[in-house]
Structure 1
Amino acid sequence: MNNFKARFAGISLGTVALLSTLPIHAAEVLPTEFFSKFSEFHSVQLSPNGEHIAVTMPRGDTTGMAVLRTDTLELVTASQLDKDMHIFDVEWVGDDKLVSGVGYQEYQSEQPINYGEIVSFGASGGDLRYLMGYKGRPDTSKIPGTVYLGWSYLNNALEDDPNKVLVSACAWASGELCHWSLYELDTDSGRRKRIIRAPQLGSGSFVTDAQGGIRYFVGETENLVGVRFYTYESNERSWSQVEFNGIQDASPVSYDPDSNRVYLTAVGENGLRCLYRTTFASDEVDEVICHDTVDIHSLDFNAKRTRPIRAHFQNGRFESVNLAPDLEEGSLLEAIAQRFDNALVRATSWSDDGNLFILYVSSDRNPGAYYLFNRSEKQARYLFSRRQWIDPQQMAERRPIQYEARDGTPIHGYLTVPPGAEQPWPLVVLPHGGPFGIRDGWRWDPDAQFLASRGYAVLQVNFRGSGGYGQSFRDLGIRKWGTEMINDITDGAQWAIESGVTRKDNLCIFGASYGGYSSLMSAVREPDLYQCVVAYAGIYDLRTLNRKSDTGQFSRGRNYIDDYVGDSDDELLKHSPMTYIDALKAPVFIVHGINDARTPYKDAKTLRKALKKRDIPYEWFVRDREGHGFRDVTNRTDFYNALAAFLDKHLATGDSATN
């Protein structure tokens, strides 16, 4: 617990500090650790009575939880798990108890893995209580067992019974295609009771109201990229699949029992994800709000979470719309947001009476700060920042950009510019991972900010296949991994040269996962464009996806590969950088985790062997006990330093970059 006390020792209360757009001037080089360290705080949840705040806090190789007094931020209690164990999905159950899931950090994974364990904590102290999971106790004649061999996650707490929560669970014995069930779980005894089974096999989620009434089930399709929508008929205890008129891939976000309205996001006839409303069991919908260019990004809700009151769209920078001018909450959030210049402002957690709520404020220069707003006092109070050591005024500006690809498709992206330097800048093209449904956005990005702090401009483009720009734009990337998607990245680099952002002989390309793949593929397709390549956790022979990657170990993953990448070895080879390695001219920095299950280490070794054979210069940065992306902060710091040294060898910076 002393570790948590030390964490909060430097935090002081203060009134709202408005973000500034003052010009940034050149300053001392910031420590690499500023960018390689993870956030100090993750989930921040206000208790129903508003008297306490629960905060999850990564610390080294574990994530613990602290409970603070709302008025003073005094530490009330803290819970910390064993090495490589992480608390996540924390939810208050009444005012005195919290329930959460437990994940395990394994070497092959980038994020902690959930093995279905659920635990509870006393808000004022007391021991952790094991409620459900494979380490639980067996049944006895007097005490219900807590052992459960399967996946599970917290669905929601019950408003009318503070000792009960709803849990979705699926036994491991059911095989690859789980048959999920919804359980009622007693947080005192660990006793659980099954309520209903899902209407289909495979992953999905139950949607219930605050009283535990079952409303919907949303299930994934076999190729993992679509959904099926079911309503529950309580009188008949049966499910009915619903196909809404004019929309697809519907996902419910809230239910208002007073009006019997269901709010949901869905893909409309324009191909964009928008907000709609309907009534229970109806197949007709009304559009609430839709953007002309981008999908809906996120929503804020009223205190009871029954109605969306604010919508956010990421169209370059964020655009926010008040959905509830008739409610005080909607108008209040709009007024607060206007006080924070050029930032995304969200209401993330409310007290039950609606008087207190947590504000989360972030931007391209601000990694995220939390405030507490008191409606009766009309005051926002600063609580803490996710990365306390980051000064937003020392960070680089992130500019939205747009250009046309060679076939006329509009491509959006971001240019992060080095503070205090004049263009043309040395440029790093940084394609994102994924690739489908993922996008780069207007946010604080540690890779881009680190590179900008070392004098490099960073170009990140949302090539076709990326998320956020509608289903049609995403689908343009189907089976185009090594062709049109790469063309979009290349056209972005050419745009930067023609726009004077950089010189034609002063750019490199760096990416991780699909970004590592696309960096190498871009360099073999355009061997004279880039001065160097950084290939991090990439896959370079796409046949590996089916043969060795964890993606190809299950039928749904193989369906995804067949549908979205290629369904034959010939097609996979056509899109593989190793097929064209003889064309490569640029030196390569190969970065990989030995335990990577998504893009196996084998491909990194195959690439190194090919470069050696062809006398192409390369550098090698491999770490054991690391998976798909580095988790150890020392390894992350060493990588950033090695990355900067590699780029410095091949790109001109400072005055030499402009001459």
Structure 2
Amino acid sequence: MQTPLRPLLATLCANLCAAVLALSAAGPATAAEAPAAPAAAPTAVPIPAGHFFDNPGFSRPLLSPSGGHLAVLTTGPQQRLRLAVLNLSDLSAKVVGEFPNSDVGDFRWISDERLMYTEADRKVAQGEVRYAPGLYAVNRDGTAYRQLARTMGMPFFGNGESSTLLPWHTFMLPQAGPQDGEQVYVANVLYRGVIGAIPKVELLRLNTLNGKSTDFTGPSGMHNWILDHAGAPRLAVSNSGDSTLIHYRDPASGEWRELGRYSAFTGVNQAFEPLAFGPDGMLYVAANAGGDFKALYTLDPATGKLGKEPLLRLQGYDFKGGLIFGGDKLLGVSFLADGQGVEWLDAGMKAVQQAVDARLPHTVNLLTPPARPRTPWLLVTSYSDRQPAVHMVYNTQTKLLQRLGDSHAAIKSSQMGTQEVVRYKARDGLEIPALLTLPKGRDKNLPLVVLVHGGPYARGGSWGWSPDVQFLASRGYAVLQPEFRGSLGFGTAHFRAGWKQWGLKMQDDIADGARWAIAQGYADPRRVCIAGASYGGYATLMGLVNDPGLYKCGVNWVGVTDIELLYKDKWSFQSDLPEEWKRYGMPVLIGDLEKDAAQLKTTSPLAQAARITQPLLLAYGGADRRVPLYHGTKFRDAVKATNKDVEWVEYEHEGHGWSLPQTRVDFWTRVEKFLDRHIGPQREVADTGK
């Protein structure tokens, strides 16, 4: 099971590290990105699609609680991912977890000596997954390995009595816990036997050395739990009809009581969103406090009252992020605004941030200190709009900055396009945030792809490197990503403005973005295409219906084609949309089947298929349970009756999105060829007569 690599750091780094680069304080300005080269025309030799869409080569490094060791996934035989631990004091390395015919999936430190991890298989698509992820634990030196939970069948390796194994539906909690011993809380997820039903979650206290567990006695029917700073269950969340209930456990009496409730699917009457507990027992929450935007507050569980002033308020964005603790002190707050960032409250961490930023001036540099620091090491993740994530470690004593690895080592930032956060006005005056990415060296009269995000009640994107966006930019396309009304993260008013606006004002916001790009001179009005997945696929089709003179073509993958189909399952294939969402959420946010029947027909791409005459590329997954395949096949058959320029591709084993690199490469290569035929560079020559 465990394969030591002791002196073979170079071998490990061939898989683990793009390079290990020690920088002196007087060294180059940055190890992550050189100063930008002068603008030039797009390269004549296209960057291979695989450079964008291969699985990340290096991702998710985790510091041990003390900061002395680093756990990472590294590629082994047959390109399988193994769990390795790097000793930062001497750079010795050891593989501590691997499987013969699958990959290590998620992993976590549960103490400074011990890790827990799961199994995955990144060589199969969603429809071919046959096993649960299981649960395993091992010491950082490779000893005391134990399988803790089944993967549907028998254990992978003998390690004592198989009767002690927990059932396959046992999972790690999202929280790391106290990370101070071999004991850990895990989730026993009780599925209700109906696709789409919200499962109930019970807690188990698990000893990862002997595999024995005990039930945690708490309120029944919960689907989410939050541990306090000491690692004890303190908050639980349940649903009852249209309501979400938050339950709090008093630390003195152990009694549970209701702390709050609100509408589960619209968020109406939500006073706060719980995030984490501090060492003093205060609860950190995101709350509007009567305003439009959520900010970060403390909440006293004893009184239920928010602090008088927010700890952090973001200009133009709802607060979304987390708390960064070091020992028993709140060091800082991570957040998402234009992009990812950190606000440090600790003077020492502010100084470290300034020192790292001085060394890496062309990137955003996210610092992650250890949870229980006893060493001077911390993680640095650097990124920009042109640079995928680069992972490093920094020694606060020696000032040594070591580059560990790149998420996409083949990508050269000097060849990437630039991205800008923009805002434009919709026709009714509502301000719409968006991301605009331009190909390197060009900013005028470009073919434009309007890329619409899914959800739709979600945040679409943020400033930073994106594989699909930069792939399109590398082929000479401008890309606009609008955060149309209904998108989350931009205030309550922006969200509520999108209720029941599928195909209507939400669609207008997208079209108004394309027209804004044309008016600004970025886009050639004769070469605009709309594209998107899931809701974005729906918006693609409705864009072709509503604005046939604006969009010259469309690309829809895994897109909704009829709102009524979202409500009604086909007898042979059920959607995984929860029944509670269909009953309580969809009638308010999307439309009621009976009361809004006329509107839903007008805004149904399936019902309006005969109006779509532009070239169209459709792609669906045969194993998709969010938007089942019949959405695609019914629409394909309807639109082909009147439109002969329709391309269809089905990925039999893929689900709601493309999990396999080969699928992503195949799909985006098809997109490239499709766009080139209809709005690409050769169209510019043909249209201008050059």
Q: Compute the TM-score of the two structures, normalised by the length of structure 1.
A: 0.89
Partner of 1:38: 55
Q: Which amino acid aligns with 1:303?
A: G
Q: Are 1:114 and 1:151, in contact at CA under 8 Å, matched by a contact in 2?
A: no
Within a 5 Å distance, the mapping from 1:31-180 to structure 2 comes to 31-57=48-74, 63-71=81-89, 73-81=91-99, 83=101, 86-88=104-106, 90-103=107-120, 109=126, 115=132, 117-126=134-143, 128-133=145-150, 134-135=152-153, 145-148=164-167, 150-154=169-173, 159=178, 162-172=181-191, 176-180=197-201
Q: Call closer, same or farther: CA 1:581–1:171 in 2, change over 3 Å.
A: closer
Q: Call closer, same or farther: CA 1:158–1:107 in 2, change over 3 Å.
A: closer
Partner of 2:629: 601
Partner of 2:345: 323
Question: Within 1, Cα distance between the matches of 2:176 and 2:49?
Answer: 42
Q: Call closer, same or farther: CA 1:358–1:466 in 2, change over 3 Å.
A: same
Partner of 1:303: 326
Q: Are 1:39 and 1:58, in contact at CA under 8 Å, matched by a contact in 2?
A: no
Pick one of 457, 473, 487 that aligns with 2:508. Answer: 487
Structure 1 counterpart SS, 2:136: strand
The alignment status of 1:344 with 2:367, answered yes or no, reads no
Q: Are 2:22 and 2:400, in contact at CA under 8 Å, matched by a contact in 1?
A: no
Partner of 2:216: 195
Q: Which amino acid aligns with 1:573?
A: K
Structure 1 counterpart SS, 2:217: strand
Partner of 1:544: 565
Deviations for 1:138-182, whole angstroms, at most 9, x for unmatched residues? xxx989722325353236566585111112323346974544322
- Cα distance, 1:252 vs structure 2: 3.7
Deviations for 1:492-519, whole angstroms, at most 9, x for unmatched residues? 0111111111121111111111111111
Tell me the C-alpha RMSD between the 2 structures. 3.3
- Cα distance, 1:124 vs structure 2: 1.9
Within a 5 Å distance, the mapping from 1:203-602 to structure 2 comes to 203-210=223-230, 212-219=231-238, 222=241, 227-243=244-260, 248=270, 250-257=272-279, 259-286=280-307, 287-299=310-322, 301-304=324-327, 306-315=329-338, 321-324=343-346, 327-337=347-357, 339-341=359-361, 343-350=363-370, 352-353=373-374, 355-548=376-569, 550-552=575-577, 554-568=579-593, 570=597, 571-602=599-630
Deviations for 1:39-68, whole angstroms, at most 9, x for unmatched residues? 122321112343321113578896542222
Structure 2 counterpart SS, 1:278: strand
Q: Call closer, same or farther: CA 1:62–1:538 in 2, change over 3 Å.
A: farther
Partner of 2:27: none
Q: Which amino acid aligns with 2:173?
A: L
Question: Within 2, Cα distance between the matches of 1:437 and 1:582?
Answer: 30
Q: Are 2:16 and 2:74, in contact at CA under 8 Å, matched by a contact in 1?
A: no
Question: Within 2, Cα distance between the matches of 1:554 and 1:105?
Answer: 30
Q: Call closer, same or farther: CA 1:368–1:630 in 2, change over 3 Å.
A: same
Deviations for 1:289-337, whole angstroms, at most 9, x for unmatched residues? 212310224346132275251443414x56654333xx31244225434
Q: Are 1:205 and 1:219, in contact at CA under 8 Å, matched by a contact in 2?
A: no
Question: Within 2, Cα distance between the matches of 1:468 and 1:414?
Answer: 14
Question: Within 2, Cα distance between the matches of 1:606 and 1:653?
Answer: 33
Question: Within 2, Cα distance between the matches of 1:97 and 1:265?
Answer: 33
Q: Which amino acid aligns with 1:165?
A: V
Partner of 1:12: 20
Q: Are 2:378 and 2:393, in contact at CA under 8 Å, matched by a contact in 1?
A: yes
Q: Call closer, same or farther: CA 1:274–1:85 in 2, change over 3 Å.
A: same
Which range moved further: 534-543 or 603-612?
A: 603-612
Bigger relative CO (Cα 8 Å, ≥ 6 apart):
2
Question: Within 2, Cα distance between the matches of 1:218 and 1:82?
Answer: 39
Which range moved further: 466-475 or 548-557?
A: 548-557
Question: Within 2, Cα distance between the matches of 1:50 and 1:645?
Answer: 48
Q: Are 2:144 and 2:209, in contact at CA under 8 Å, matched by a contact in 1?
A: no
Q: Which amino acid aligns with 1:466?
A: S
Question: Within 2, Cα distance between the matches of 1:391 and 1:142?
Answer: 51
Q: Are 2:332 and 2:342, in contact at CA under 8 Å, matched by a contact in 1?
A: no
Structure 1 portions without partners, runs of 5+:
none
Question: Within 1, Cα distance between the matches of 2:342 and 2:624?
Answer: 39
The alignment status of 1:614 with 2:628, answered yes or no, reads no
Structure 2 counterpart SS, 1:165: strand
Question: Within 2, Cα distance between the matches of 1:171 and 1:75?
Answer: 39
Q: Call closer, same or farther: CA 1:600–1:42 in 2, change over 3 Å.
A: same
- Cα distance, 1:115 vs structure 2: 4.2
Structure 2 portions without partners, runs of 5+:
6-10, 24-29, 263-267
Q: Which amino acid aligns with 1:598?
A: R
Question: Within 2, Cα distance between the matches of 1:563 and 1:539?
Answer: 18
Structure 2 counterpart SS, 1:168: strand
- Cα distance, 1:340 vs structure 2: 3.3
Question: Within 1, Cα distance between the matches of 2:480 and 2:185?
Answer: 44
Deviations for 1:80-127, whole angstroms, at most 9, x for unmatched residues? 336565511x22133332112445679774998994732112322258
Q: Which amino acid aligns with 2:657?
A: G
Q: Call closer, same or farther: CA 1:127–1:562 in 2, change over 3 Å.
A: farther
Q: Which amino acid aligns with 2:272?
A: A
Structure 2 counterpart SS, 1:401: strand
Q: Are 1:217 and 1:231, in contact at CA under 8 Å, matched by a contact in 2?
A: yes
Q: Are 1:423 and 1:502, in contact at CA under 8 Å, matched by a contact in 2?
A: yes
- Cα distance, 1:572 vs structure 2: 3.7
Question: Within 2, Cα distance between the matches of 1:318 and 1:273?
Answer: 17
Q: Call closer, same or farther: CA 1:153–1:160 in 2, change over 3 Å.
A: closer
Count how many residue pairs are aligned between Structure 1 and Structure 2: 648
Structure 2 counterpart SS, 1:646: helix
Q: Compute the TM-score of the two structures, normalised by the length of structure 2.
A: 0.85
Which range moved further: 588-597 or 19-28?
A: 19-28
Q: Are 2:284 and 2:299, in contact at CA under 8 Å, matched by a contact in 1?
A: yes
Q: Which amino acid aligns with 2:54?
A: K
Question: Within 1, Cα distance between the matches of 2:366 and 2:92?
Answer: 24
Q: Call closer, same or farther: CA 1:383–1:652 in 2, change over 3 Å.
A: closer
The alignment status of 1:650 with 2:678, answered yes or no, reads yes
Q: Which amino acid aligns with 1:550?
A: S
Structure 2 counterpart SS, 1:426: strand
Q: Are 2:170 and 2:186, in contact at CA under 8 Å, matched by a contact in 1?
A: no
Q: Are 1:120 and 1:130, in contact at CA under 8 Å, matched by a contact in 2?
A: yes
Q: Are 2:198 and 2:578, in contact at CA under 8 Å, matched by a contact in 1?
A: no
Deviations for 1:528-550, whole angstroms, at most 9, x for unmatched residues? 11111111111112222122352
Structure 1 counterpart SS, 2:182: strand
Structure 2 counterpart SS, 1:493: helix
Deviations for 1:551-591, whole angstroms, at most 9, x for unmatched residues? 44633454333332222162543331122222212110111
